[in-house]
Every structure is written in C-alpha cells, then in structure tokens.
Structure 1
Amino acid sequence: MELEFLGTNAGVPSLQRNVTSMALRMFEERRTFWLFDCGEATQHQILRSSLKLSKLEKIFITHLHGDHIFGLPGLLSSRAYQGGTTKLTVYGPPGIKQYIDVSLTLSQSRIEYELEVVEHAGGLVYEDEDIAVESLLLDHRIDSYGYRITEKDKPGSLDLKRLAEYGLKPGPAYGRLKRGESIDLENGMTLHPSDVLGAPKKGRTVTVLGDTRPCGNVLKLARDADLLVHEATFMDDLKESAYNYHHSTSVQAAEAAAAAGAKELILTHFSSRYKDMEHLKPLLEEAQSVFPKTLLAEELMLFPVRRHDEG
C-alpha cells in the first residue's frame, strides 16, 4: 500500500505543481488503485506515472471545488481508450452525479464500461471483506469530506515448523487453518488455528482529508492513523488568511496529527505563493517542530503506508 501524489497545489496549477489528486496504490493487496480527488490534468499526471487507468477501481471526491474535480470528465472519458473495461465507482458529496452526468452528456462522451456514482453525506461509504472507508464532514466554504480508509486485520502467518511436527504437509488443510477453521488429524486430535498461527497482522489506516479549517471531525478521522494526509495551504504566519479562506496552516495540520495520535503526516495542497520545494522547506520545518514525523507531498513520488505496532 503506497500513496502517489498526482497534484499538490491549491486552487490553480503552477509550472511546478498540478492541482489536487492522489492515488492509493494497492497492487499487492487487490491489484488496483484508488484515486482521491481529480483536479485538472490528473490524467496527464497519470501518464507520467507508472499507473494505468485500466487498474483504477474507485474515485473518492472530497468536495466540488474545481481544483478537485475539473479533471474528472476527461479521465472518465479516456479510461476506456486506455484499456479500462472493469466497473468504476465514483463516491462524492451530493451534486457529483449531476456534474458527471451533465459533463458527459453535453460532450456526448461514450463510457464503454460500467460507471457507478454514489453520493453520500458521510458515514460508512464502502466496505468489503478487506477494507472499510468512512467519511465525515469537515469545515470548508462548501461541504468537504475527509475519508478514513481502514484495512482489516489479517490472520497471522502459519508456523510451518509446528505444522510439520503435527505431520501436516502443504495442502487444503493449510488454507482451512488460515481461514480460522479447526481440522481433525489422523490420530484423532483436533488442531485449532491458535495452535499454529502467529499473532494477527494489524491492518493499516490511512486518513485523507479534503480542504478544511481545524475541526473536531479531523481528529475523529485521524485517530491513531498510520498515515494522515492533511492540507497545509499556508504557513502559520498566515493563519488569519487560512481561517478566512477556510483552510489550514502547516502548524495546524501538525497539531491535528499530534492530538489524534497519528503515526505519520504528509502535508499537501500548498498555496502557489510557495513556488517550489525550496520555498516549502520553512513550512515543513515549522510543522516538524510540532510533529516530527512530517513529510511534504512531492508529485509522482511514492510514500509507503507503514504498518505501525500498537503503542
């Protein structure tokens, strides 16, 4: 599980950075990737990356400001031409379906794959046997949502040495034990999964926030997250401007990460006044003074989602 940023600028693109979009790569876990927001030129950024639109499974939109959705119609239209034939689901606030329908209808775009659009107002947005996605409303000029992606715990690894001691060889019995089923041995003994399985592998949690001022739902979404992605539109000397524009500063993002007990923080959604990574260094330094495990999002770089031990 890795994050790849396809755009890190706020409001408008610059020569150095594109507007907001990020990919959660889960190729080992489910052979797909998910997209969070889709600012203008996101599909161009994907062409510059190792991502393939044919592997895109889901898109989560945080809010309907243009720098987060103007790339969506083009990407949806192009996906089929890049080998995308499987179902694609878009999740977002009320209004996202109308935006997509009108854009595709007026442009007479033909979608050759199944496209589902799910509008939500927070709560449990998606769940399957491996992962759950929850959402809460944030504090922005329009309804903006954050997403908490929780990977479910996995069974521990089989102890091959102990299995051999019980006379078991690789085969269907291994799978049954891994699934939590007990099996009867030839000597009449019952072998329970706890006899041969190590400790469960704790799932990871990633929190991706839309644009927001500091608010209580940020802390709820980021509670004990392995990785928090938080906007940092301004340095802290412009916190009054951040408040007026319904955004956060780098220090406020770091304070949220510390208060929520997050393990790592990545800052993104930077004002274009900070022209390049050199100009962003002071923003990083002031955030690290509050929360040391802070990084700056850099476009087309991979950030692993690390599995942190409890405590």
Structure 2
Amino acid sequence: MEVWFLGTGAGRPMKHRNVTSIALKLPDPDCSLWMFDAGEGTQHQLMRTPLKLGKLEALFVTHLHGDHTYGIPGLLSTRSYVGGNGPLQLFGPPGIREMIETALTLSSTHLDYEITYHEVSEGVIFKTERYTVEALPLEHRVPCFGYRITECESPGKLNVEMLQQLGVPAGPLFGRIKKGEDITLPDGTLIRAADVASTPLCGRTIAIAGDTKPCDNAMRLARNADLLIHEATFAAGQEEKAHLYGHSTTVEAARTALEANAKRLIMTHFSTRFGDDDIAALEEEARTIFPNSSAAYDLYHTEVPRAKG
C-alpha cells in the first residue's frame, strides 16, 4: 500500500502547497487507485506522479468544503479521456451527488462511465474481497467524515516443494490450502494447511481524519492503525482558534495518535499562515507528544508496511 499526498494545504492553494487530496495505491492483485478528497488542481498534481487516473476506482470525500471538492468535476471529466471507462464508486456526505451532478450537468460534461454515489453515514460503507472501509462523523463546521481502511489478512506462502512431495496435485487443492483449509487426499492422507504454508500476512489499517477538532470518533478511527493521517491546521498554542473553525493543532493530532495506539502519524492540511520554513517546527511540536510523527508536503509519498505476524 502506497500513500501519496497530492495537496497538503488548507483553505486555498499556495505557490508550493496545493489544497487537500490524498491518493492510496493498492498493491497486487488490485493495483487500483483510491482517492480521498480532491481540491482544486488535484488532477494537475496527479500528473506530477506515476499514478494513473485511469486506475481510479473509488473517491471518498470527507466533506463539501471547496478546498476538498473543487477539483472533482475536472478529475471525473479527465478520467474519461485516459482510459478510465470502468465504473467509479463515489462516497461523501449528504449532498455529494447533487453537488457533482449539478456541476457536470451545467457544464454539459459527458462521462463514458457510470458513477455509483454513496451518501455515507456511520459504519461500514464499502467492502471488497480484500478491504473494508468504515466511516465515522467528525466534528467540523459542516458534516464531515473520517475513513478507516482495513486490509484483510492474506494467506501465507505455500511450500510447493513439500506439497509435491506429499502428492498434492497443483490446481484447486492448492487454492483450498492457501485459504487455510485442511484437505484429505484420495488415499486418506490428511494435509494440514498450517504444515505446508507460512504464517498468514497481517492486514494493514489506515485512518484518515478529515477536518476536525479533537473528538472521540477520531480516536476510534485511529485505534491501533498502522498509519493515522490527521489534519493539523494550526500550531500548538492556537487551540482556541483551531476549535472555533473546527480544526486541530499539531499537538492535538499527536495526542490522538498516542492515545489511539497508532503506529505512525502523518499530518496534513496546514494553514496558509505557515510557509515551507515553518513545517519542520510544526513537525517537532507533534514529536514532543508522539515521536513517530511527520509532516506531509505536496507529492510526498510513503509505503505502509505490513506488521510482522
């Protein structure tokens, strides 16, 4: 799993920092792209990466503020031109369908694919063979959701040489064993999956807290997550102003990571009051609370490794 930060700013674009968008590249065998928010200029940022818009299969919107949504119509339009003709799943708060369809209709934009809209509420909102996505409401000035992406445990690697020695023919029986199922051969030999396959691979969990002030649901999203992505619009000491606008400070994001027992914190959504030279100081503020904290910058990308089983 690979995470790309296409924009890390709040409110409006800056010369060296675009507004919010996060891309999640799924590993084999999916190899698809999921995105979380798409502020103005997101498709421009995407072109500066190796990511392919045609691979986009799902877009999750945290809330309807413009710095998280104004790039969506252009993104959807361009997807038609770059081979993205498969259906798209689009998730967001109530009003997301009206917002997007109004923009597409009034601009006479025709898409060569179907969009399935999901106006989300609390709970599991999306499930595939390998992933589950949950949504929880956060505390912002407008309805806003955070998302928790949980990868299923993957089967361990088969010991093919041992299976051949035991007389197990390649094919469907290999698949059953890989799923953890014990099998019995025609001659009565019992093959235990645990004896011929390595330990299953742990799934990974990523929590994305959109715009929010500190709240219990942000903690729930982040519980034991491998990676917590949390807004940090303001600096330590600016809590009163942050909460007035439904935001968090660096140290509050760090406390959420610490108390939730997350393994890693990446902060984003920085106020325009902070220039590039200020980001290192914001990062250090968070590290006084939660040492494994870092501050994202535009086009920063990172792998999310599997925990050892």
Q: TM-score, normalised by structure 2?
A: 0.96
More displaced stretch, 21-30 vs 205-214: 21-30
* Secondary structure of 1:14's aligned partner: coil
* Number of equivalent positions: 309
Which residue is 1:306 aligned to? 305
User: What per-residue deviation string (whole Å, max 9, x for no partner) do you get for residues 155-209 of structure 1?
Assistant: 2222345324423464443222112333333542121222312222110000011
- SS of residue in 1 equivalent to 2:54: helix
Give the letter for the 2:287 counterpart. Q
Q: One-letter code of the match for 2:188?
A: G
Q: Superposition pairs for residues 193-212 of structure 1, below 5 Å?
A: 193-212=193-212
Do 2:232 and 2:247's aligned partners in 1 also have CA atoms closer than 8 Å? yes
Q: 1:103: Cα distance to partner? A: 0.5
* Partners of 2:201 and 2:306 within 8 A in 1: no
Aligned partner of 1:289 in structure 2 is: 288
Q: Residues 27 and 33 of structure 1 are in contact (CA less than 8 Å); yes or no, is this contact kept in structure 2?
A: no
Residues 142 and 42 (structure 1), Cα distance of their counterparts in 2 relative to 1, 3 Å cut: same
Structure 1 residue runs of 4 or more that deviate by more than 2 Å after TM superposition:
159-165, 167-173, 179-188
Shift of 1:10: 0.5
Could you say which residue in structure 2 is the equivalent of 1:70?
A: 70
| Residue 239 of structure 2 corresponds to residue 239 of structure 1 | yes
- Render the CA deviation track for 1:107-157: whole Å, top value 9, x for unaligned: 111011111111112211101221100000001001111000000111222
- What residue is the counterpart of 2:134 in the other structure? 134
Residue 229 in structure 1 maps to residue 241 in structure 2: no
Q: Does 1:191 align with 2:184?
A: no
1:263–1:308 CA contact under 8 A, matched in 2? no
1:99 paired residue number: 99
Q: Is the 8 A contact 2:150 2:205 kept in 1?
A: yes
Aligned to 1:175, the other structure's residue is in SS state helix
Identity %, equivalent residues: 48
Contact 1:227 1:262 in 2 (8 A): yes
Q: What letter is aligned with 1:302?
A: H
Specify the alignment match of 1:116 in structure 2: 116
Structure 1 residue 51, shift from structure 2 partner = 1.3
Supply the distance in 2 between the matched residues of 1:171 and 1:84 (Cα, whole angstroms). 33
Q: Confirm or deny: 8 A CA contact 2:228 2:265 kept in the other structure.
A: yes
Mean Cα displacement is larger for which, 24-33 or 288-297? Answer: 24-33
| Distance apart, 1:6 and its partner CA | 0.5
Q: Deviations for 1:254-274, whole angstroms, at most 9, x for unmatched residues?
A: 000000000000000001111
Q: 1:46: Cα distance to partner? A: 0.8
Query: Is the partner of 1:67 in helix, strand or coil?
Result: helix
Q: Tell me the distance in 2 between the aligned counterparts of 1:161 and 1:289.
A: 51
Q: Does the Cα contact within 8 Å between 1:224 and 1:260 map onto a contact in 2? A: yes
Quote the residue 1:250 is aligned against: 250
Equivalent AA in structure 2 for residue 306 of structure 1: P
Looking at structure 2, the residues matched to 308 and 155 of structure 1 have their Cα atoms a distance apart, in angstroms, of 14
- Between the aligned partners of 2:294 and 2:30, the Cα distance in structure 1 is 26
Match of 2:44 in 1: 44
